């Protein structure tokens, strides 16, 4: 069975998730590549934190099942939209966007706002913003966010407005099969600071830093149309999507 060529964004997305897996190896996570799959695990139980990217339709699902069974965790897979795939249940589609370095259109930081890199001492602040924005339990999110703070190659942004924490976001620099790239994720804004340009400013700050550090392009997935419009202002355009499958 032939497979369509993977887009560079699909490859970069897998690069970033494998960085996450390797980062978490000391905590029971890890990364593995087998036929047709690039897998990662976090050491956490939730399926949202344990996943793999399909690179070919003849993927070795038995190896994936063994990888996650050894860790006692649920898991899912991301499959390039349009690839022939007959396994599991499609849960959702990730709307991917990307911007080349020379097409990036940065936005200024709004007056009164400051953005800096968060460190381990900022964990509770970052958790509070993330939990409010995404309606998550901070205690459940702690194990996912904590290893990122201060980790090499990862930048967590912390935005303040008038001295009050209002936004956060993550960038992962990779130099894997897709070449030097930047994955932007987890852009979160407190309810009181929405529609003030916080999300755009945080995203712009992260992308600018990644490009300055050598990335040739940045990529992300937009949760909804308003988010996509924000990213479009920065020069991001639509990229081939990924379908998420569970119950594999």
154-184 pLDDT, tens per residue?
A: 999 999 999 999 999 999 999 999 999 999 9
Q: How far apart are CA 42 and CA 63, in angstroms?
A: 17
Two tokens at 106? Answer: 């940065």
Tell me which residue of 78, 68, 64 sits closest to 6, measured CA to CA.
Answer: 78
Average pLDDT over residues 221-247: 96
Same domain, 153 and 200: yes
User: Within this chain, do residues 115 and 25 fall inside the same structural domain, yes or no?
Assistant: no
Is 26's pLDDT higher than 60?
yes
Q: How confident is the model at residue 2 (pLDDT cuts 50, 70, 90)?
A: very low
Check residue 210 and give its pLDDT: 98
- Check pLDDT > 80 for residue 4: no
Q: What percent of the chain has pLDDT over 70?
A: 98
Contacts of residue 209, Cβ cutoff 8 Å, sequence gap at least 6: 155, 171
Pair 156, 44 in one domain: no
Query: Which of the four pLDDT bands, split at 50, 70 and 90, describes residue 3?
Result: very low
E strands in 177-248: 179-189, 217-222, 237-238, 242-246
Do 81 and 121 belong together in one domain?
Answer: no
Q: Within the chain, what is the greatest distance between any pair of CA atoms? A: 58
Evaluate if residue 5 carries a pLDDT over 90: no
Relative to beta strand 179-189, strand 217-222 is parallel
Encode pLDDT of 142-162 as tens digits: 999 999 999 999 999 999 999
Question: Pairing state of beta strands 113-117 and 154-161?
Answer: antiparallel
Whole-number pLDDT of residue 246: 96
Burial 200-235 (b: 16+ CB within 10 A, else e): bbbbbbbbbbbbeeebbbbbbbbeeeebbebbeebb
Give tens-digit pLDDT for 39-60. 999 999 988 999 999 999 999 9
Question: Per the confidence metrics, is the pTM higher than 0.85?
Answer: yes
User: Domain range spanning residue 17?
Assistant: 8-94
CATH number at residue 110: 3.40.630.30
Q: Does residue 3 lie in a domain region? A: no
- How much of the chain exceeds pLDDT 90, in percent? 96
Same domain, 39 and 125: no
* Whether residues 126 and 229 fall in one domain: yes
Sole residue written with tokens 């924005």: 133
* Domain total in the chain: 2
> What is the token pair recorded at 146?
């904590």
130 and 231 co-located in one domain = yes
How much is the mean pLDDT over the chain? 95
Choose one of 94, 124, 145: the last residue of a domain. Answer: 94
Which of 50, 72, 94 is the last residue in one of the domains? 94
Q: Are residues 30 and 67 in the same domain?
A: yes
């Amino acid at each position: 069975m032939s497979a369509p060529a993977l887009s560079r964004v699909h490859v970069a997305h897998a690069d970033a998730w494998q960085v996450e897996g390797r980062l978490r190896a000391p905590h029971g996570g890890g990364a593995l590549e087998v036929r047709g799959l690039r897998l990662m695990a976090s050491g956490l139980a939730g399926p949202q934190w344990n996943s793999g990217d399909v690179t070919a339709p003849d993927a070795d699902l038995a190896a994936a099942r063994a990888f996650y069974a050894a860790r006692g965790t649920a898991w899912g897979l991301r499959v390039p939209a349009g690839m022939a795939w007959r396994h599991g249940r499609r849960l959702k589609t990730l709307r991917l966007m990307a911007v080349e370095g020379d097409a990036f259109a940065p936005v200024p930081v709004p007056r009164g706002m400051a953005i800096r890199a968060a460190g381990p001492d900022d964990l509770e602040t970052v958790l509070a913003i993330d939990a409010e924005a995404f309606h998550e339990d901070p205690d459940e999110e702690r194990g996912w966010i904590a290893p990122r703070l201060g980790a090499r190659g990862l930048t967590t942004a912390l935005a303040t407005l008038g001295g009050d924490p209002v936004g956060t976001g993550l960038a992962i620099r990779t130099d894997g099969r897709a070449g030097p790239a930047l994955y932007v994720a987890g852009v979160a804004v407190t309810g009181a600071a929405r529609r003030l340009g916080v999300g755009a400013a945080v995203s712009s700050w992260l992308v600018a830093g990644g490009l300055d550090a050598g990335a040739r392009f940045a990529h992300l997935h937009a949760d909804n149309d308003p988010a996509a419009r924000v990213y479009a202002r920065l020069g991001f355009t639509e990229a081939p999507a990924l379908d998420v499958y569970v119950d594999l």
